[in-house]
Structures are given as structure tokens and as C-alpha cells.
Amino acid sequence: MMRLLRVVSTLSVFSLLGGCASSVSKQDYTNYRNSRPASILVLPPVNNSPDIKATYGVLSTVTRPLAEGGYYVFPVTLVDQTFKENGLLNPPEMHQAPLNRLREIFGADAVLYITIEQYGASYKVVTSDTVVTAKARLIDAKTGEQLWSGKATASSAETDSNNTNGLAGLLLKAVVKQVVSTSVDQGHDIAKITSRRLLSPRSDGLLYGPRSSLYQSEK
């Protein structure tokens, strides 16, 4: 019986490892390296979360990691206002704008499309976490080819301590966090981490741009 259990356990481990391996996708950087964009136009993110603050909470955090990665980033506030002055009032409409028009108006080498999947706090009996999850696609503004895609998430639970004594303490802590999150946009702070993970050059992430000292090493 014990031998049978060990066999089943071993098979389960291999099954889990196989599942993990099959879910890992390696980026194909062929189009990216051929395009080598120097400037990126970031469109206001499409918000699929219930929090109305999500679009601009995330949009305000994307410029820094891209600029630090060596790219020129068009001022996101100016881009948003330009769309609105031309009758495109919300992100889904902005994401439908023709690439040739975006290139004609802004002169960007590439366009970054971001979609927010999670943003804000959720209450879970004995804990309340603030989570921000976003995915993105980088598209060549001239050819329409996809250069890169990625996804990242961050949570307040990553830095929280669960040393509060007892169940009553955990419940009180969760309630306090929930109250605070409704009065302050904690999602914005977590969005900074998500954007850094999503858009900073890294393994399987964006390549360094031409303004970075590391650009030549990736050519």
C-alpha cells in the first residue's frame, strides 16, 4: 500500500511539473529586433475591473519604467487629451483608432495597448488585499506587427504581515484595510509595482530601448 502511495505521489509531482512547463511561453523577439522602436505611444488602458479609478491609476505609472528602459514615451496626459478633443472619449474607442492615424498624428514607432484585469481591494473573510493585474501588447505603428506581449500582477499581500494575534485581530485588520482602501486609492501604489514588473526590461519582457546604455548589448 505504501509503495502504491509513493508511486501515485511521484506521478502527481511529474504531472504538476508538466503542467507548469506547458504553461510557460518563450517570447519571440524577431519582429521586435527588426523594428527596434525608439518611441512608444501609450494608450489609456482599457479597464475590465469594477473600479472606475483603474484606467488613470495605471496610466500614471507606466511612463517611468518605459523611460528608464531607454524609450521616449509620449506624455500620457497629452495623449489622453488629444483623443478626447478628437471625439474618442473612452479607452475602448481609443484602442480602435487606426494605426496609420496614430502614427500620422503622434509619429510614434510603436503603440502600447494595456488592459486592466484587476484593480483595487477585495475582502476575503480574514484578509483584504489590494490587487492590480494588467496585460499589454506592443504593436509596430508602421507594420501592425505585434512586437511583444506580457502580463503582470502585484498584491498588497506580498508585503503584509500576518502576525496579528488571533482570529479577531485578523478580522479587525481586514476591516481596517477595507475602510482605508475605500477612502484612499491604494491601487495606485500597487499599480506602480505591476507596471514595473510588466514594462521594465527583463527576461521575457521588453527589450532595452536606444536611450539605454544596455541597448547595444541586446542588438
* CATH (domain of 169): 3.40.50.10610
Residue at 60 is within a domain = yes
pTM of the predicted model as reported, rounded to 2 decimal places:
0.78
Average pLDDT, the chain: 82
Q: What is the pLDDT, as a whole number, of residue 124?
A: 60
Residue at 8 is within a domain = no
Domain count, the chain: 1
**Burial class (CB within 10 angstroms; exposed 0-12, middle 13-18, buried 19+) of 58:** buried
Residue at 7 is within a domain = no
Residue type, 3: R
Residue at 219 is within a domain = no
Number of helices and strands in the chain (H, E)? 9, 6
Residue 210: domain span: 26-214
Residue at 106 is within a domain = yes
Residue at 20 is within a domain = no
Residue at 204 is within a domain = yes
Q: Give per-residue pLDDT as tens, 5-14.
A: 443 344 443 3
Q: What is the pLDDT, as a whole number, of residue 20?
A: 38
- Name which residue leads in pLDDT, 69 or 180: 69
Nearest 10 degrees: CA dihedral of 68, 103, 36, 145?
120
Q: Lowest-pLDDT range, 17-26, 77-86, 98-107?
A: 17-26
pLDDT > 90? residue 218: no
Residue at 129 is within a domain = yes
pLDDT > 90? residue 25: no
Residue 198's nearest CA partner among 209, 206, 188 is: 206
- Name which residue leads in pLDDT, 169 or 157: 157
